[in-house]
Each structure stands twice: as structure tokens, then as C-alpha cells.
Amino acid sequence: MKFIDFPSMNVKVEGMENIKIPKMMKIKQIYDPFKIENLKGWVEKEMENNLSHKDSFNEKRICITAGSRGIPNLDIIISTIVKKLKDWGAKPFIIPAMGSHAGGTAEGQKDLIASYNITEESMGVPILSSMEVVKIGELPDKTPVYCDKNAYESDGIVVLNKVKPHTDFRGKHESGMAKMIAIGLAKHKGASMFHMKGFSSFAERIPQVCGVFLKNAPVVFGVGIVQNAYDEISNLEVMEKEHILERDAALLTMAKGKIAKFKMSSIDVLIIDEIGKNISGNGFDPNVVGRSNSLGFDEVLDLKKLFIRGLTKETHHNGCGLNHADITTRRCVCDIDYESTWINVSTATMLNGGRIPIYADNDREALLLAIRTCTGIDFNKVKVAHIKNSATMDVIEVSESYYDELKDRDDVEILSEPKDIEFNKDGYMI
């Protein structure tokens, strides 16, 4: 890992001494709460009902993909699939399928899925992590199509992934099973080749790759997962190979309707405690925050300043997404593995993803500077929102200036009186 010890900074702007941090109140944003209660039973039923050739799995080596996206209870889902396949006589194994994530190394990718409790011990099957790929075809423009070698040499591939709006482009297929085929299973080499033409080409090229892949690789079935606004699994479908693209598009439409968004249309300063690859490829979801490396997200939220405090443990020091912050802290920029981050953003051809924002020595100074540099606002009624991450949008904090706007809404519950933000002796939020 490659870290940088950044120097202490003392950034002061004229008038900062008159800026006050507003009192914050806790609120609950209410969304559709449906979730799958018995996940194990649901997966078993989907496999039994939707896979017609169960006898064909006997004695076959079946490969199951495990990606880098944070899916709740992913270990339960995969272990259930593993057991059911074993019951049908198969010999399943698991591969990490995440393009260039986790530093683009076999060891790093195996460690990443281990953080989701997906290990040989917990799953009871081999985990074959390799960056070796096989070329299985090419697109009309001669872009090669690759497949993980272990997956290609199996008797069947189970394409499993979360289906959600992508953070960098819009299309019929965004982040889901189709993207797992085009990029996740292509490992570092294939992901690099695919990204060379940029995100603007993704909507057109992902289905093209899937066409080549589904024709030439031994895919047997797909598993598409959709989460609700509370980051819980609300839908999970198992489908035969020939229905993967159709259901991927349908599940994406469903997922877009379930995104948790702010009940407020404008925010002066948004505080995010943590960003990470387990939350979104962008570190946070632009469909919530409104900032992205690509066009098309400006209407999501009227946001003046973004303050990102840190990284998730699960992102393994990958700093992707921090470039969108207006300000952060020295502790955060010192916590980034720059080699891993730069490999990731270079593979995606988005070199701006490796930039770092202005940083302050602690949270208090960063927040004061963020407020002070907002223009055209009433500093006595500054609108501040505070979230843990973009996947945790139910209980959040907002400044007391939002009270009149929110108090009569049916989809918002005010949970506390306004209180001062607590800082420790080093100036970090408690």
C-alpha cells in the first residue's frame, strides 16, 4: 500500500470567526419498507422454480461470481446457492469478479470478498482468485472480450450481481448482471480494454459484450438483486441464461424507483461520514448526492458544498469519489492507498478521480470553512445535512433551519430537538 503523510494546514478566511455551526436535529425519512425476510428460503425457491434443467448440474464444476459491491447478506445468498448446487450434484466454486478493484490483484480481490464473510471456510467450497483471462471474442470495433480463466474453464457460470443505477452513465443496462459480464468477469485486463472508450460508450457497448459473452462462455443462470431505500434486499430473481439481459433491464427500472433521496431539494453543506467501493463505484451514489464524473446528475440535488469525512473500512483505503468533495480532513487524505486508487481510476480512464480536495486539520475547521465559502446564503439559517453514507438515508441529521419545511410532511418524522454538534478535543465529530 502507498500512503502519503500530508502536512498540517491552517486555512483561514476573513470572516470565519463570525461563522456559527448550526444546531442539528435527527429526522427519519420514510420510504417503501418492503424487504425479503427469509432470504435463504427465497433463494432456494427461486432456484427450484426458475431453473428447469437441474439434472444437468450433476458432477459439473459451477462457478459463482462474487463482486465488490456491498450487498447485505451476500454470504447467505452465495452459501445458499452453493448448497443447492451441491444438492443437485454439482461441484461449485467461487471467483472474485470485480474488474480492477482491490488493487487489481488476485490476493487483494480475495481479501475483499473475505471482508463479506466469503471465504473457503465459510462457504465450504474453493475460492479461485486469479487475474488470468481468456479472450473469447471481440466487438465489431475489434475491442476484445475477455473472461476470467477459471470461470471460462468451468462447466457453468452463475452471474450474480446487484442491479442498480450506475454512477457514471445512463442506459438500458447500467450496474447489474450485464455489467458483471462486461467488466467484472473480464478482470483487470478486460476492464481496462472496455473502459478505453469512456463511460459515454457504456450504454451501447455493454449489451454488445453480453451478446458475445453469452454466446461463447458457459453461462448457466443469473441472479439479480435489488435493494430498497434502507439498503435491504427487496427483490432477488434467479433466471435462465436466455433471460439475463431482459431481467437485468427490468430490475434496473425497479431499482431506480427505490432509490433513497433527500426529502429536501436544496442543501448548503452536506456532511458524509464515509465513502467507499462497498457503497458505490463512485464512493457514494451520485443518484443521491448529485455529483458524478459524468453528465446527467445535476438535477438530483441543489448542493453547494460537500464535506467528506472519511473512508469505509470495507473499501480498503480506496479513495475513489473523494475528488467530488469540496473539502475533507487531513486524516482522510492520509488514509488513502494512492497506488490502489490510481490503478482503479486509470483503468476507468477517469484520471480526475485521483484528485484530492482542500483539506482541513479536523472536522470542525472543515465544516466552518465549507459554510463560510457558501455564497448567497443566510449564515444565520444555513442548511446543513449529515449522513453516514449514501446507502444510509433513513435516519439522518439536518440543521434546525429545515424545521418549518419538514414538520408537516407525511414522509418525514422529526426525532429530536436541535442540538449542538459534539466535537472531541482534537476537533473531530463524535
Say if 223 falls within a structural domain: yes
Q: Which one has a higher pLDDT value, 130 or 191?
A: 130
Say if 205 falls within a structural domain: yes
> For position 225, which CATH number holds?
3.40.50.11440
Q: Which of 142-146, 293-297, 314-318 has the lowest mean pLDDT?
A: 293-297
What integer pLDDT is reported at residue 68 of this predicted model? 81
What integer pLDDT is reported at residue 344 of this predicted model? 87
What integer pLDDT is reported at residue 83 of this predicted model? 98
Read off the amino acid at residue 57. F
What integer pLDDT is reported at residue 212 of this predicted model? 95
CB distance 242 to 248 below 8 Å: no
Residues 52 and 115 in one domain: yes
Instruction: Give the chain's largest Cα–Cα span.
Output: 74
What integer pLDDT is reported at residue 199 of this predicted model? 76
Q: Report whether pLDDT(295) > 80.
A: no
Q: Report whether pLDDT(103) > 80.
A: no
Q: What is the pLDDT of residues 188-216, one digit of tens each?
A: 888 887 777 777 788 888 999 999 999 99
> d(Cα 191, Cα 184) in Å, to the nearest integer?
7
What integer pLDDT is reported at residue 168 of this predicted model? 78
Enumerate the β-bridge partners of residue 137.
Answer: 145
Q: What is the pLDDT of residues 314-328, one digit of tens each?
A: 999 999 999 999 999
What is the full DSSP assignment across 74-127?
HHHHHHHHHHHHHHTT-EEEEEE--TT-GGG-HHHHHHHHHTTT--HHHHSS-B
Residues 273 and 319 in one domain: yes
Read off the amino acid at residue 288. V
DSSP code for 349: T
Say if 289 falls within a structural domain: yes
Cβ neighbour number for residue 160 with a 10 Å cutoff = 26
Residues 237 and 265 in one domain: no
Q: Which of 70-74, 174-178, 344-348 has the lowest mean pLDDT?
A: 344-348
What integer pLDDT is reported at residue 148 of this predicted model? 94
Query: Which of 223, 256, 289 corresponds to the end of one domain?
Result: 256
Q: Report whether pLDDT(176) > 90.
A: yes
Range(s) of the domain holding residue 272 = 16-31+260-414
Residues 244 and 272 in one domain: no
> d(Cα 365, Cα 363) in Å, to the nearest integer?
6
Enumerate the β-bridge partners of residue 96.
Answer: 66
Read off the amino acid at residue 360. A
Residues 251 and 265 in one domain: no
What is the band of 171 on the pLDDT scale with cuts at 50, 70, 90?
confident
Query: Which of 256, 271, 289 corresponds to the end of one domain?
Result: 256
Q: Report whether pLDDT(296) > 80.
A: no
What integer pLDDT is reported at residue 175 of this predicted model? 87
Torsion sign, CA atoms 267, 271, 274, 275? positive
What integer pLDDT is reported at residue 297 of this predicted model? 80
Residues 283 and 400 in one domain: yes
Residues 56 and 24 in one domain: no
Read off the amino acid at residue 315. T
Q: Can you tell me whether residue 254 is helix, strand or coil?
A: helix
Look at residues 187, 205, 99 and name the one whose alpha carbon lies nearest to residue 142.
Answer: 205
> d(Cα 94, Cα 404) in Å, to the nearest integer?
52
Q: Which of 9-18, 193-202, 243-252 has the lowest mean pLDDT?
A: 193-202
Say if 155 falls within a structural domain: yes
What integer pLDDT is reported at residue 334 of this predicted model? 97
Phi, psi values for residue 280, rounded to 5°: -165, 155
Say if 355 falls within a structural domain: yes
Say if 162 falls within a structural domain: yes
Averaged over 249-263, what is the pLDDT? 93
Q: Which one has a higher pLDDT value, 53 or 423?
A: 423
Q: Can you tell me whether residue 317 is helix, strand or coil?
A: coil
Residues 241 and 269 in one domain: no
Q: Report whether pLDDT(12) > 90.
A: no
What is the band of 102 on the pLDDT scale with cuts at 50, 70, 90?
confident
Exposed e or buried b for every residue in 43-59, given b needs 16+ CB within 10 A? bbebbeeebeeeeebee
Q: Report whether pLDDT(120) > 90.
A: yes
Residues 354 and 328 in one domain: yes
pLDDT more than 90, % of the chain: 75
What integer pLDDT is reported at residue 308 of this predicted model? 98
Residues 310 and 227 in one domain: no
User: Alpha-carbon Rg of the chain, whole angstroms?
Assistant: 22
What integer pLDDT is reported at residue 203 of this predicted model? 86
Taking the model in full, what pTM does it have?
0.74
Number of domains in the chain: 2
Say if 201 falls within a structural domain: yes
Say if 420 falls within a structural domain: no
What is the full DSSP assignment across 358-419?
EEESSHHHHHHHHHHT--S--GGG--EEEES-TT--SEEEEEGGGHHHHTT-TTEEE-S--B
Residues 249 and 265 in one domain: no
Q: Report whether pLDDT(350) > 90.
A: no
Residues 271 and 194 in one domain: no
Query: Which of 234, 256, 278 corresponds to the end of one domain?
Result: 256
What integer pLDDT is reported at residue 173 of this predicted model? 93
Averaged over 351-364, what is the pLDDT? 95
